[in-house]
Structure 1
Amino acid sequence: MSGLTTVKVDAETHRLIGDLAHLLGRTRGQVVRDAVNAFAVWRERRLDEGAEERDQRLALAGARHVGRLAAGELELSTAERAERSRIGASRISEATFQRLKIAERLELRRTDLETAFGELGARNPRLVDPREHGRDPASTVLLVDLDDPSRFPMGVLLLTALEHLDEIVDVVATNGRRSW
């Protein structure tokens, strides 16, 4: 097998490559190789310039943001934060959501999870260190407050957490039973 590759071009380009090779005293292959290398160097330089311009734009935008934040122009109410979180959660792809850590998933879907848990009589879901509740450090523990400790719908809460967080968690009530 030869180390050469055939490149097909139109007749005019073929003639130009031949003329250039004759003029430079080189082979057609050397002319094409040099032209491709020159184009690659030129293109890389253009990409680097574009990256530098992008970095400058991002730095300027970051400086503007810090200035507006310091001036208090970016203060959001709790309702605005919840709405932005809800919108962001609805736009995130499932593949991206699966790559998030459990704490990030909880933060992203907190409003929906709190609503669903509220209907079941549980409030304020939060992640805690599993060792504080005698669990394996690799497990995930979600602590909740129950409206009625005698009515702890453990299976439904577990399924609701799984549905919203896409991960199996252990639900522990501050004022009731554990799910295990």
Structure 2
Amino acid sequence: MDELLTNLRDILQDEVTLHASLRQQLAREAEQDGELNAGDLVRVQLLKHECLEQILRVETRREALVSALSEAWGEETAQLTLRRIVARCAPEQGAALRAVHGELMALVTDIRRLARITAANAHARLIAVEATLGVIQDAIRQHPTYSDAGRLKNKTPTFKYTSA
């Protein structure tokens, strides 16, 4: 049983390490927001994707371990929370599990904050691009056309710079 609890702590510590790496990539992306060229942005996206894949693999290991604990203790896996695990283990093991879990939750909170910032900035850039495209499309639609007699059908358009 102690081995399972030690493995759980180690898995949670692995998750902390991977989430810290993900937070670092998100912070880099947020700091350089709007300054990254397409190649750098793709590299950051790939690093984030690799972090997420590793987190998913570790999370699968954690779920399997919690399932093994639930079988050993005769409880349903869905009902076995960290609080219940901590309540059934030695105080020092419980304290270590709570500490690692607290560190992980702090990282997750910061990751969510950084993701919201990055998403809001990306949304603002998309709105600016859409507005610019709208101005260009308006200018194209207003392009003068000629009648069969060779006369202009409408006036030459003026660019609305303020709308861009």
TM-score by length of structure 1 reads 0.29
Greater helix proportion: 2
> TM-score if structure 2 supplies the norm length?
0.31
Whichever structure has more strand as a proportion of its residues is: 1
